[in-house]
Structures are given as C-alpha cells and as structure tokens.
A and B are shown apart, each in its own frame.
Chain A
Amino acid sequence: MTRHWRFIPLALFVALVGAMVWRLATPPDTQVASQLTGQRVPVFNLPAAVPGKRGLSSRDLTGGAGPRLVNIFASWCVPCATEAGVLAELKRRGVKIDGIAIRDREEDLQAFLARHGDPFDRIGADDQSEVQIALGSSGVPESFIVDRAGVIRAQHIGPIAAADIPAILTQVEAAR
C-alpha cells in the first residue's frame, strides 16, 4: 500500500476522464419523464366538441386502435395555433391524432379548425378540465402517446415543435 499511494491521483484522474468521455459521447437528456407513462389512460367519455365529428372516450384508445396521439388543446390557446402546422405534418406522416378541447366554445373551435387545419379523428369536449386533470396535464397544449392497449407511453408538455417531429415519430413507432 505504502508504495502504491503515488498511483492514486492518476487512477482517480483516469476514472474522471472516463466519466467525462462518457458524458461527451452521450449528451445529457434534459427531459424529465412523466410519472404517468406506463399507466393506462383513465376511464372517460367526452361528448363531441363540434358537429359532425365524434367525441372521445377511453374505449376509443384502449380498443386496439393505437398507437394514437392525444392532443390537449383549445382554440383560445395561442401556442396551440402555432402547433397546428406540426400536428398536420405528423398526420401526413401517418400518426393518428385525437383531440381534447379544453373549456372551449363550439363556434370558436370551428373557426380555429377552419383557420389552422383539422388533423383530429375525434375531438372530445372537456368543459370542466376533468379529463385533463385525470390525465395529469396542467396546461395546454400537451400531447400523450397511447399504445394499442391504452397505456400512455410518452407525455409531451408544451407545443410540439418542428424539431420534435423525429422524436415523436420514434415514440409512436415504439408504441406499436
């Protein structure tokens, strides 16, 4: 031991460099994963938000229809308007999207969809934020990726940006 103490600083330094090399090779993932991922969606049944389009219930998500992207949005939400183009692009790439409209009015919602596009297969009206809270969402917009069995596989907080498209597509693929 007494003869080997002199190697201790070198050994510690080598370990440190190892950790730093690892960190450079795998850049830090700053996403904080939601505790809700891995859980089944709560049971709910929302009425239709606009005429001519069905409402959304948890059965629509658990019945083997997935993977689906559930987007929580509102016509009064400015970031949702900027997100609409990205959702349209996701739909074009084959992602099935459902919407939950939070505390919205039918005519406002129709105007919003007419102006910013309508990527949604179904839209449920959540007038008291009940389902939003049950899903563990605290704001608009948020998106959940739900697999065939109705298990939430990922939560995206805030608007999906164009730069997030590859990550979202990977998550949808992983949920298949």
Chain B
Amino acid sequence: MIAEAGLAALWLAAGLAAFQLILSLIAFRGRTEAVAAMRPVAVVQGLLTFIAFTALLLVFARTDLSVALVVANSHSAKPFIYKVAAAWGNHEGSMLMWVTILAASGAWMALFSRRAGERTLTAALGAQAALALGFFTFLLVASNPFARVFPAPLDGQGFNPLLQDPGLAFHPPTLYLGYVGLSVAFSLAVGAMLSGEVDSRLARAMRPWVLGAWVLLTIGITAGSYWAYYELGWGGWWFWDPVENASLMPWLAATALLHSLNVLAARGALKAWTMMLAVIAFSMSMVGTFLVRSGILTSVHSFAIDPQRGAFLLALLAIYVGAALTLFAVRAPALREGAPFELISRETGLVINNLILAVILGTVFVGTLYPLLVEAVSGAKLSVGAPYFNLVAGPLTLMLALLVGVGPLLSWRRETRPILKKLLVPALFGATALVTTIILAPHINWLPRLGISVATYLAPAALVPLVGRNPLRIPLPTWGMAIAHFGMAVALAGAAANAAFTVETLAVVKPGERVNVGPWLVQFEQVQPVAGENWVGIEGQLAASRGTGEIRLNPRTHYYWAPPAETNEAAIETFWNGQLYTVIGKPDSGGGWQLRLWWKPFVTLIWTGGLLIGLGGAIALLGRLPLRFRRSRRGANDWRRA
C-alpha cells in the first residue's frame, strides 16, 4: 500500500507541475487571478513529492521485499541506517530525491521568495514547474522507484558491504541539495530574462539560494574528497576523475555567480554575464547528473549504464539548457548595463575574479570532455589526467588567491585610496615564506613553493577587511567573506604542503624490520589474521616513533565474500603537523609484506580549509536571511494587492 501511495503522490505531483506551468503561461499574459493560484499549487506539489519520498524511505526502512528497488538494493540483515540510506543509494531513489528537492525548492520559492518582481516570479515558478515536470516524467516513464515484484523473494540482493559507510550515506544527499538548490537561480534567471527585470532586486532574491547551494556543494565536495582519501588507500585527495569534476564544475560556476551577484545587487551591473552564470551553474549540475547517471565517461565511479535512461536525461538536458541559452541569445542585447565603473574599483576586481573562475571552469570542462570530443571527431582514444589539470588550474588558482587579498579592500565604482598599503604586512608574510622555502627546501617544485607563499600571504590578507572595525558592527556577510577567504588560504596551504613535502616509502619488509618515512621510524612487528561480521582479513601491526614515544598503527586488508571483494583499510594517525598514512599490501614468497607509508605534512589543512569556506558561506547566508524575511513580508502584501 505504501508503495502505491507513493506512486500516486508522484503522479499527482506531476499533474500539478503541468498545471503550474499552464497557470504561469496564463499569468504571464496578464491574467492576475492565475498568479494567486500558483502559490498553493507549488506548495501542494512540493508536499506530494515529499510524501512520495517518505513512502520510499518507509518501504526501505521496513525492507518491503515486494518492491523491486528494495530487493535490488537492500537486505534484511543490513544495519538500519544503511537500509534507509539504500533508498537514495541507487538510480531510481536518487532521482526521486533529486525531484523531491527540486519540488521543495519550488514550494519554498513560492512561499518566501518575494524580492524579485512579480512578473519575474511568475515566470520563474513556471520555469521551476517545467523542470519538475520533465524529471517527474523521467521517473514515471523510465525509472519508477515503486515497481513491485511478484512473487516477492525471500531476501534482498543488496548487501554490498563496500557501500556501508557513513560517508557514502550522506555525501550524495549533500551534493544533491547543492545541485538542485541552483535550480532556483536558473529559474529566476529564466524568469527575469522573460520579464526583462534583470536588476538588483533579482540579485537579492537569487543570492540566498546561490549561497545555500554553494555552502552545501562546498561541504559535499570536501567530504567526498576526504572519503576518497581515507577509503581508497591511495593517499591522494583529488584525482580529477570525471565524476569528481562533475561536482567541481557547478561549484566553480556557483562561486563565480556568488561574486557577480554582488555586483548586480550593489551596482546593477554585469547583467548579461550574471544571467549567463546562473544558467551555466544549474546546467553544470544537470550535465554532472547526466554524466554520472549515463556512464558516458569512463570513471572510477562505475554506475550501471542504461542507454534508454541516458537518452531521456540527455533530451531533458538539451531542452532545458538549450531553451535557456536560446532565451539568453535573444534577450541579452536588451539588457541595459547598470552604473558604470572605473578601472580600479571593486567591480573590476569581481570581474577579474569571474574571468579567472570561468577559465578554470572551462579548463576542467574541456579536460573532462576532451576524450569524448576527440573520439567523436577523429576516433582516437586518449585519457586526460592530473598533469594537465594541475598545470592549468594550479597557476590560475594562485593568481586568483593573490587577487582575493586585494578585491575586498576596493570600494565600489572608483578606488582612490592607496589600499595596497594595507597589504604590506601580508605581503611581507608571503615574501618571508618564499625566502624560507628557498633556503630550507631548495628542491621542491615551483608550483607548491608559490602555493605555500601565496597561502601565507592570503591568510592575513583575508582578515584585513576586519581590521580596525568593531567586531560587533561588522555585518555577518563580511565576516563570512573573510572566513571563507581565510579558508581558501588554509586549503591552499594544505594542498601545497602536501604536494611539496609528502614522503612516500614503498617497501617489502619482514616482521621485525624497520623502515623510514620522513621523520618516522616504523617497525613492522607482525601480521595477524582478523575477522569481522562479513569479512576476514589480515592486520599488520606497526609501531611508529619519531624520537620519543611510540604509536601503534594497524592497517588491514579485508576480504569480503558476498560479493567477493578486497579492500585496503588504511591506518591513519593525525598529528597537528600532518598525518602518518599506512597501507599493507600483499605478501611475497619470502615472508616479506608490501608496506606503503606516507608522511603527509599539514594535509588535514585541505579539508579544514574546505570546511572553513563552507562555514564562511553559512555565516554570510545567516546575515542575508533576517533581511530576507523582513522584506518578504512587504513583498507578500504586494502580492495580495496584485
């Protein structure tokens, strides 16, 4: 019954999405009574979708084995939390979650987003309904999550122990919230281009959505990076894998959008560019979802390839993005640019920020899709790897980091004060770091060396906008900005230190032997068999010491039997100045074991920085929200009068 109720709710929600689209078409032609009807329709649509998703969670929580999706992806013996998480750990469930977030965003927008002009909002709700309708159709036609099986089997097949990890349970929903949160920016941009009301009101309406989505994307990407680092046992934190890039591209676009929105909100400038970015940001989310779900690119993230679903998703992508870009091409010339600004001004700073981010985005995009394009044109097969991405994105990021220190100090329109003086101390920090690394570590590569120097400059520079002001009077968005920029310095320092100073030792050792890795002396004591609930394994016992004291590490290899799989469980010990990362490999015939040891100085700064960036965004969002509600009440009255 629960499954049928969920399916019925989904059909009703799809119907309401179609109705909402029609209403918005009527309303946009000037029939104001249709406007009033749209709000409840959007809200009920959101509720129905929520009911459908709850139904899915329920059938998974109860392990209802008459539902095909549960049979394929769950098992009665799974821990409860993973039973629930299995609901979105598959294609159909994750698409239902996608649509649920989409419809909930639409409902929230209908209820609270009143800053934008009325015609814009009408058109935006129509665009949101069109998006939802497409994905409802996709679910109902090509990926019904509630399909039944008869007769019901005795137990499920989804007992893959590799997917039982808290990281995997919560990493996808966070990213999805971020991806789909950008749909509202997309709809608002489409609405504004239709109504012609591309102005600072629109920017203020869009900003909290972009901020919120951006915060979630930041946290999702950071968590995903750490998960890959500790779980895969390769010691790396970013692999430039197509699926990783698929999450990075919307983040880059959203970061650029966040900054250009400030120009539009404060000065009414960069109209066409900002609309373009709002379209691109969500388009990148859809491209990402499509790439992940269609298996079109070869990736370490293997998902089932289904050409029919791939074609359906591609058609949706082509319709939505194609329509938005066509609209842009038609309407862009009509967008009158706002207040002019001089060469040295905050506007210029933000334009440069946007240009650099756009070039990085283009670089990642081309690198990710290059193998596909080359094979389509010439038939040659190739693979683009980390060297290309690091070489292009690395220097650009450093340039951006240098300018991040300057931008916030500039005033709008025209800067006449000698602001570079304020950066004297940070610049000295950076120069000192540069000289120190040249003297103490002459052999490291120039990119990590510059990275360390720039990070040492940026960390104090990011805090300069706070200096000399009463902390209680500094607006929350300014706090947020400073913290996020500081986070960027921290992450950059971590990445650069990791690249420059990581020491790796790969050795075959016999019990009792010792190996060096960086400042550590690691003694390999013995191996022991170990066993768990659904695996057996071997455990290496290591004693590591640097001078005084001794710590023990137990890296393991697990062998699962259902399904047969082998995993390396790295043993990682964290210190204030780095991580000792140990992996045990295979035995050789002479009684030796492969050991991989890394000493990674300051590697944890990468994720600390990522979280700080997210925290900064969250603080800025808090600062924007109270203002939001105050204004939305006034907006509500406007609505009623209309």
- Does B521 sit at the interface, judged by CB under 8 A? no
Q: Tell me whether B333 and A23 are in contact (CB under 8 A).
A: no
* Dominant secondary structure of chain A at its interface with chain B: helix
- Does A20 sit at the interface, judged by CB under 8 A? yes
- Does B37 sit at the interface, judged by CB under 8 A? no
Q: Tell me whether A10 and B333 are in contact (CB under 8 A).
A: no
Contact A6-B333, Cβ < 8 Å, known A13-B325, A20-B296: yes
Contacts of A7 in B (CB 8 A): 329
- Does A9 sit at the interface, judged by CB under 8 A? yes
* Closest A residue, CB atoms, query B321: A13
- Does B305 sit at the interface, judged by CB under 8 A? yes
Q: CB within 8 Å of B: which of A158-175?
A: none
Q: Tell me whether B314 and A10 are in contact (CB under 8 A).
A: no
Q: Tell me whether B296 and A6 are in contact (CB under 8 A).
A: no
Contacts of B280 in A (CB 8 A): 9
- Does B373 sit at the interface, judged by CB under 8 A? yes
Q: Tell me whether A23 and B329 are in contact (CB under 8 A).
A: no
Contact A24-B314, Cβ < 8 Å, known A13-B321, A17-B322: yes
* Closest B residue, CB atoms, query A18: B376
Residues 309-340 of B, flagged 1 when their CB comes within 8 A of A and 0 if not, give 01100100110011001101100110000000
Q: CB within 8 Å of B: which of A3-25?
A: 3, 6-7, 9-10, 13-14, 16-24
Q: How far is the CA of A9 from the CA of B318 in the complex (A)?
A: 13
Contacts of A94 in B (CB 8 A): none
Contacts of A21 in B (CB 8 A): 314
Q: Tell me whether B333 and A9 are in contact (CB under 8 A).
A: no
Q: How far is the CA of A154 from the CA of B547 in the complex (A)?
A: 60
Min CB–CB distance A19 → chain B (angstroms): 5
Min CB–CB distance B355 → chain A (angstroms): 15
* Dominant secondary structure of chain B at its interface with chain A: helix
Q: How far is the CA of A16 from the CA of B283 in the complex (A)?
A: 12
Q: Tell me whether A9 and B276 are in contact (CB under 8 A).
A: yes
* Closest A residue, CB atoms, query B326: A10
Min CB–CB distance A37 → chain B (angstroms): 16
Min CB–CB distance B367 → chain A (angstroms): 14
* Closest A residue, CB atoms, query B294: A24
Q: How far is the CA of A17 from the CA of B286 in the complex (A)?
A: 13
- Does B18 sit at the interface, judged by CB under 8 A? no
- Does B476 sit at the interface, judged by CB under 8 A? no
Min CB–CB distance B181 → chain A (angstroms): 22
Q: How far is the CA of A134 from the CA of B283 in the complex (A)?
A: 53
- Does B372 sit at the interface, judged by CB under 8 A? yes
Q: Tell me whether A24 and B322 are in contact (CB under 8 A).
A: no
Q: Tell me whether B328 and A6 are in contact (CB under 8 A).
A: yes
- Does A28 sit at the interface, judged by CB under 8 A? yes
Q: How far is the CA of A47 from the CA of B322 in the complex (A)?
A: 67
Q: How far is the CA of A64 from the CA of B350 in the complex (A)?
A: 73
Total interface residues on B, using CB and 8 Å? 28
- Does A27 sit at the interface, judged by CB under 8 A? yes
Min CB–CB distance A5 → chain B (angstroms): 8
* Closest A residue, CB atoms, query B287: A16
Q: Tell me whether A6 and B322 are in contact (CB under 8 A).
A: no
- Interface range on chain A (Cβ under 8 Å from partner): 10 to 19
* Closest B residue, CB atoms, query A19: B376
- Does B369 sit at the interface, judged by CB under 8 A? yes
Contacts of B310 in A (CB 8 A): 24
Q: How far is the CA of A114 from the CA of B469 in the complex (A)?
A: 91
Contacts of A13 in B (CB 8 A): 283, 321-322, 325
Contacts of A3 in B (CB 8 A): 333
Q: How far is the CA of A71 from the CA of B321 in the complex (A)?
A: 52
Q: How far is the CA of A20 from the CA of B312 in the complex (A)?
A: 12
- Does B390 sit at the interface, judged by CB under 8 A? no
Contacts of B318 in A (CB 8 A): 17
Contacts of B30 in A (CB 8 A): none
Contacts of B317 in A (CB 8 A): 17
Checking A14, A22, A27 against B376 with a beta-carbon cut-off of 8 angstroms, the contacting residue is: A22
* Closest B residue, CB atoms, query A12: B325
Contact A16-B369, Cβ < 8 Å, known A9-B328, A23-B376: yes
Contacts of A24 in B (CB 8 A): 294, 296, 307, 310-311, 314
Q: Tell me whether A10 and B372 are in contact (CB under 8 A).
A: no
Q: CB within 8 Å of A: which of B238-286?
A: 272, 276, 280, 283
- Does B298 sit at the interface, judged by CB under 8 A? yes
Contacts of B272 in A (CB 8 A): 6
Q: How far is the CA of A129 from the CA of B373 in the complex (A)?
A: 42
Q: How far is the CA of A30 from the CA of B295 in the complex (A)?
A: 13
Q: How far is the CA of A6 from the CA of B273 in the complex (A)?
A: 10
Q: Tell me whether A27 and B307 are in contact (CB under 8 A).
A: yes
Contacts of B311 in A (CB 8 A): 24
- Indicate the member of A16, A19, A22, A23 with the most B CB atoms within 10 Å: A23
- Indicate the member of A13, A14, A21 with the most B CB atoms within 10 Å: A13
Which 6 pairs between the two chains have the least Cβ-Cβ distance?
A10-B325, A6-B332, A6-B329, A19-B376, A17-B318, A7-B329
A–B complex contacts, Cβ < 8 Å, 14 sampled: A7-B329, A9-B276, A9-B325, A10-B328, A10-B329, A17-B314, A17-B317, A17-B322, A19-B376, A21-B314, A23-B296, A23-B375, A24-B307, A28-B298
User: A residues engaging B (CB < 8 A)?
Assistant: 3, 6-7, 9-10, 13-14, 16-24, 27-28, 30
User: B residues engaging A (CB < 8 A)?
Assistant: 272, 276, 280, 283, 290, 294, 296, 298, 305, 307, 310-311, 314, 317-318, 321-322, 325-326, 328-329, 332-333, 369, 372-373, 375-376
